[in-house]
Structure 1
Amino acid sequence: MSLLSVESLACAYGTQSIVEDVNFAIEEGDIACLLGPSGCGKTTILRALAGFNDVSGGQIIMNGRTISALNRTLSPEKRNMGMVFQDYALFPHLTVADNIGFGLRNLSSGQRREAVKSVLKLVRLPDLSQRYPHELSGGQQQRVALARALAPKPSLLLMDEPFSNLDTEMRKSLSVEVRDIIKEQGLSAIMVTHDQDEAFVISDAVGVLSQGRLQQWGSAESLYYRPENLTVARFVGEGELFEARCVSADAFETELGVLPVANNQSCPLAQSIQLFVRPSEIKPIISVDTSVEATVMSREFMGDTVRFRLALPSGRVITSTCHERLDFKPGDHVGISVTTQNPILFT
C-alpha cells in the first residue's frame, strides 16, 4: 500500500477549474516532485494535500485513510504533514529555537528543548538557537523552516518552491543537502518547483504538470529519455522538433540528413513521424560530401560545454551543445553529425 495516493483529483476556485483528473502515488521513503510552469496548478495540489484547500473531485488517501474528498476534508493539523513554505514563514519576533518549538506545545518544556536541539543538529545549525530570523542568511532561514517542519516528526513533508528565494549556487548545494537530510531520516516528501534541475537532483519520482493536468509521472530519466508527449519533452530539456520520414526499416530522413533508428525501434516504411533532437545530440563537424551543411551563427564558451547556433540551408537556426572544445567560428560552413542514442519519436 502506498503512503499517499491521489486519485482523479480535481480542484477549483469557485467555477474556475484549476486541476483535473490528477493521479499519482508516493511510496514510503520516496521524494517526489511536481514540476511545471507558474499557473499550472502544482501549488494548488500541494495545498490540497496539506488540507488548506478543498477538492472538487477525486480523493486523497493517506495510509489507507481518505483525508480529502468532495465535501469532506480532514483538517491540516490532523494529517501529520510538515510544510515548508516558499517564503519560509518564520515568526520574526521569535528566536530560532522558539520558531522550531512553536508546533511542539504538546511536549513538556524539557522535551521541547531536546527536540529543538536534536533537529537543529540535524540541519547543521546547532549554535544558532538564540538568533532571530533577520540575523540569518537565506540558506540558514531555509534550514530553520525545514527544522520546524521536521520537528513534529511528520509522515510526509510538503515543500512549496523551497529554494526559489536563494541564488543559483546556494540553491544547488542546499537542494542536495535537503535531500540527504530527508533520506537520512527515512522520510517521504513532495516538493513543487518550476526548476527542472532542482527537481531532478532531489526527486525519486517527478510529475510534469501543464494546464492543470498531469502529463507524465516517473523517474527523471524516464521523463528525459522517454517523454510521453512534446510538452514533457520540451519542459524537461531543450530540443528541436523535426519532420521525419522512414526510408528503410532502420533509418529515417530528416532536414538533418538520414539518421539511423537506434535501440531496435521499429520504423514503418514511408510513415511520417516527428523526431525530437536535443542540443547535446547535434555536433558541428568538418563538412564532407555526405553531410548536411550549416553555417555557424554564434559560438558561446560555457565552461564545460561550447554552445553553437547553426543555420540550416532552409534558414532554420538550431542549437548544438558540445563537450568538446571545438573552434568553429561564426561564418564557418560546417557539416552536422547527429547521434540519437535514445531517439524521441512522436507520431
Structure 2
Amino acid sequence: MTAPLPAALELERLTRRFGARTVLSEISLSVAQGRITCLLGESGCGKSTLLRLIAGVDRPDDGRILQGAHEVAGPGRFVEPESRKIGFMFQDYALFPHLSVADNLAFGLRDLPKSQRASRVSEVVERIGIGHLTARFPHSLSGGEQQRVALARALAPKPDVLLMDEPFSNLDQGLRERVRRETVETLRKIGATAIIVTHDPQEALAVGDFIVLMRAGRIEQLGSPFEIYDRPNSPYAAEFMGPCNRVTGIWNSGHLETPIGRFPGALDLPDGTLALACIRPQALSLGPDGDGISARVLSKTFMGDSEQIEIMVHPLGETLRMHSHVRIPSAVGERVSLRLNGAQVHLFAQTG
C-alpha cells in the first residue's frame, strides 16, 4: 500500500459567518503536498470564502488552519498573509498596469537582495516560458499571456501552497483548454501544491488529483475524480458532476425495480421503500422497436461529436435524455427499443 502524502494544509472545522448567515460550516480537509486539489461547487457555496481564509485575507469565526505543523489561524492565533508562504492567483489576474512584466514578477520579491531578486525572476520566466514578454506591459498582452504572467508572479516567491480562484474563466473556450493544460503541466512539473477553485465539473475532473465538492457552505463529497464521478454519494453529487435521468422505483431484495429495468445495489432500505435511480445519458442506447423496452423518440439535437436524444417511455412521467456518439437513424416520432448499461446507474434512498 502506498503511504499517504504529507499534508501541506489541514483545515479543522472551519466556520465563517457574515452576520446571521453562515457561509462555511465546520469544513475539515487535508490538502496533500504536491497535488492539485479542486474546490468545486456552484456560485455562493463558499469556495472563494474558503480560499480567502486559507490565504489569510479573512479570518474564521471557529476552527483552525494548520500549514505543515504550524497553526496559522485559530482561537487566539492569526498569521498575516505575507507570513504564510501562500501564493494567490486572482480570477482577474490583478497585474499592475503601470509595471512591466519583469517588474510585476519582482514585486513580491522586494525583501530579497537585488541580485537574488533578478535571479529568481529569470528562473520563473524560463520555467513558465515568458522570456519574450518581460519588457511588455499588461495592456499589450493577450488573455492567455496575462494568465501565464499571473501564474509566474504567484510562483516567483516559491510559495508552499498556490491558491487559484477560477484561473481560466476569463479565457475563450478554445484558449481556455490549451492554457489549462499548459498550466497543469507546469504545476505538475515543479511539484506544486495547488488549490484551484472552479464551478465547472469537467474542469475539476480534468485538472484535479483530488476534488472537494461543496454545497451551501459544507462539503458534499470529496475524493479522486474517479471516485466523485463513478461513486457519487448523493443525487446532488451525481447530477452536479454530469447530467442524470431520475427514475423512481421500489426497493426489493437488493434491487431497485423501475419501469425501465431492475438495478442491483447496496442500499440499506426495507423492502417496499421508494428509492431513486440516477441514470447517466451515456447509459442509454437505442435499438429497433421490439428488441427491448418500447420507447418513442421525441427530439434529436446534433452536437457535432454526438447527438442528444430525448425519448419517452410509458409509464414514466418524465422524458429520458441520452447521448450517442453513433448516428441514430430513427426519426423524431418513431418507435424504438431502449437498452441500458447498468454501469452508469447510481442508486439512492428517496429524499424530499
Give distance in 2, aligned partners of 1:343 and 1:164.
31
- TM-superposed CA distance for 1:36, in Å, is 0.5
Alignment partner, residue 36 of structure 1:
41
Q: Paired residue for 1:173?
A: 178
Q: Is the 8 A contact 2:205 2:225 kept in 1?
A: yes
Q: Distance in 1 between matches of 2:22 and 2:89?
A: 26
- CA deviations on 1:233-291 (whole Å, 9 max, x unpaired) are 11111102211224555x532132x23427x98997544321110111011221216x3
The CA distance in 2 between the partners of 1:288 and 1:52, in whole Å, is: 64
Given candidates 43, 46, 51, the residue that maps to 1:46 is 51
One-letter amino acid matched to 2:298: M
When structure 1 is superposed on structure 2, of 59-68 and 239-248 the one drifting more is: 239-248
1:253 has 2:254 as partner: no
C-alpha deviations, 1:28-74, integer Å up to 9, x for none?
11110110011111000000000001101111111011111144321
CA contact (8 A) 1:299 1:328 kept: no
Q: Which residue matches 1:56?
A: 61
**Aligned residue for 2:84?**
79
Q: TM-score scaled by structure 2? A: 0.92
Identity of aligned residues (%): 37
Bigger CA drift: 68-77 or 150-159? 68-77
8 A contact 1:294–1:336 mirrored in 2 = yes
Partner SS for 1:102: helix
1:337 to 299, 324, 339: 339
Distance in 1 between the 2:70 and 2:179 partners?
33
Structure 2: how far apart are the matches of 1:13 and 1:120?
40
Distance apart, 1:111 and its partner CA: 2.2
C-alpha separation in 2, matches of 1:160 and 1:32:
12
Give the corresponding residue for 1:318: 320
Match of 2:3 in 1: none
* Number of positions where the alignment pairs a residue of Structure 1 with one of Structure 2: 343
Show CA shifts across 1:181-235 (max 9, x none).
1111111010111011111111100011111111111111111111111111111
Alignment correspondent of 1:139: 144
Q: For the structure 1 residues 70 and 327, does the alpha-carbon distance in structure 2 shift closer, same or farther, using more than 3 Å as the test?
A: farther
| Equivalence for 2:238 | 233
Task: Show the 5 A alignment for 1:44-193.
Answer: 44-193=49-198
Q: Which 5+ residue runs of structure 1 have no aligned equivalent?
A: none
Structure 2 gap segments, 5+ residues each: 1-5
Distance 2:276 2:172 in 1: 38
Indicate if the aligned counterparts of 2:267 and 2:347 stay in contact, CA closer than 8 A.
Answer: no
Letter in 2 for 1:214: I
Taking only aligned residues, the RMSD between alpha carbons, in angstroms, comes to 1.9
